[in-house]
Structure 1
């Protein structure tokens, strides 16, 4: 398996770059996952219980690889996402199957399975528990993604496309980027300015600072 993963990984890295260096999707990872599942499904164990668990683990990996292949080739057609940015119903299958495969792999420990055999638990009940745990974890991940996306959208709307960066920097105690750039330029020209020019620069700086404070006050009142 290590040889297959190494060889396929080299090919996948090469195919993931376009002629101009842009990122591209390819089917090699999906094929490798499918081959890994096929190998695991035929992996004979000492316990019959363990052999059945490994077989279901392999079938789940094969399904994950097959669904990922269908997603890239037929659902997205080599695009990184759908035009509206929302995943289709079918696109939830590959990540869930991969999560379920992870639980099945972690739950295929021989000592644990021997304990389940001694307790009289059949492999079907054990596999259903693992699949149920995968459902809960996938639900939790989707909730986190939804909360993050919703919070980011609210911050963008409230701050605005222009004032968002300035507002964030103001909350962090940092001066706005424009002010820092202007101060840097004035520092570099410090020795080249006459007294009159320096006074005009100081008055302009004071006026700009006053305008920024007034703008921040109006923004707070609007909120």
Structure 2
């Protein structure tokens, strides 16, 4: 079996990890502090620093990379996950062996640590089971379920790791205790939502364009769903129930209501086809302005909130310009990177603007602009890491060893051998950036159906257009020549306010068969 091809060192590592599970489950945390004091003033010793470094390395770098390698079916997926598990397990025990600074035993970071390690060990066991390729008997229904669980846990692990690292920072500093918990939740939840939204925009920009086309939905449709979900979370988690309401609680709760109501409107407006809408952009702008005007007790807090608000407004304006004036498909313009980058910066600024953090900055004479520079630096690293992860996916495993398409200025450089590929027939003219795509019909024929949208061409009148491709326009029909002399594309023109759409049929071999079974597709340029 393939399982026994793993090296002896790896086998010993696996056995060791399985043996320590009872120890992990049995370990208990001792509460050294209670009340509003979350940590002593003692310095962090070397053992605890090693714990911080190991856990950050495992959950911040190795596990996300291993997840990406798993998606690409790379042979390095298992080694990465095993190394990450070993480092995380070592870091877990180092976290209980430190001296120096002591912490309260009722922290969320300590409470969730054991469950995360159990989840991690379960993921390793599922991976080993799948590596054995058992397929007979009960494994015929156990294995498919295990594949799904393994994938879901793998996707959740970076998110779980991020939450635990944030909780680790809170625990190490002793923040967010007592009546400050609700205010901390407001900042960390909303700040994380902005960071997560920015990361999702990067993934969509670089990875999910074709997926959106296949789904027949616009990016704003899914953004509206994210905003609505986060709005519900903010509505019910910004206030600590059972305590008196403060002005900040009311404001953050109302922002949550604005989010889910606006998200609901955005979903409705983009429910049919690839329709862009302005609602996500407007929600971002409104949120930025409201939070930039919040009254604060300290000047440094007011400055940080203004910087956060203006950064968020800038992200919303950048998104507004993109929706109204820029093409959402390939090629990717540099301007499209502005909105997700500003969202990440604004999220970091807001996460670090809670009362305890502001008090720390004020006590240590750190001005708002120096603090903002630190957050911008972190945002650069996050933006860099996300793009590297996407490139790792395209360059490893079953993929072709290079990015799906590289963007150089306004040009698209991609795979030219698409004529008979399973992804469909493609006609590309890099000079005018017009792309025509379709899917293969029956029996591997050269035909397909699809739609072709262009904003690089202009209308002459309602029935005639000027197309920046080799073409012959007659009435509402257009013949476009392909690189293949035996291939013709015939389409019907549909006028749009910002360009035109050609509903086309690629005419070639087996045209009678493929015209009945070709898949329909929309590509907006």
TM > 0.5: yes
Given the alignment, which residue of 103, 113, 118 partners 2:348? 103
Q: 1:44 deviation in Å?
A: 1.2
Superposition map of 1:149-168 within 5 A: 149-151=394-396, 152-154=399-401
CA distance in 2, matches of 1:126, 1:154: 40
Q: Secondary structure at the match of 1:108?
A: coil
Deviations 1:38-79 (A, max 9, x none): 101101111111111011111111001110111111112xx4
1:94 is displaced (CA, Å) by 0.6
Residue 11 of structure 1: which of 262, 265, 279 is its match?
A: 265
What is the CA distance between 1:154 and its match in structure 2?
3.1
Higher strand share: 2
Where 2:275 maps in the other structure, the secondary structure is: coil
Superposition deviation, residue 88 in structure 1: 0.9
Alignment of 1:29-108 (within 5 A): 29-76=280-327, 79=328, 81-82=329-330, 86-108=331-353
Q: Deviation at 1:24?
A: 2.7
Q: CA deviation at 1:145?
A: 1.1
Q: Cα offset for 1:122?
A: 0.8
Cα distance per residue 1:107-138 (max 9 Å; x no partner): 11211111111111111100111111101110
Please state if 1:119 is matched with 2:119: no
Q: Higher Cα Rg: structure 1 or 2?
A: 1
Cα offset for 1:23?
4.0
Q: TM-score, normalised by structure 2?
A: 0.27
Distance in 2, matches of 1:32 and 1:58, equals: 12
| Rounded Cα–Cα distance in structure 2 between residues aligned with 1:24 and 1:150 | 32
Supply the distance in 1 between the matched residues of 2:256 and 2:306 (Cα, whole angstroms).
20
Number of residue pairs aligned between Structure 1 and Structure 2: 151
Partner deviation per Cα, 1:10-58 (whole Å, 9 max, x = no partner): 210101122xxx3432111011000000101101111111111011111
Q: Secondary structure, in 3 states, of the residue corresponding to 1:46?
A: coil
Distance 2:311 2:261 in 1: 23
Structure with higher helix content = 1
Q: CA deviation at 1:104?
A: 0.7
Alignment gaps of 5+ in structure 1: 163-223
Partner of 1:217: none
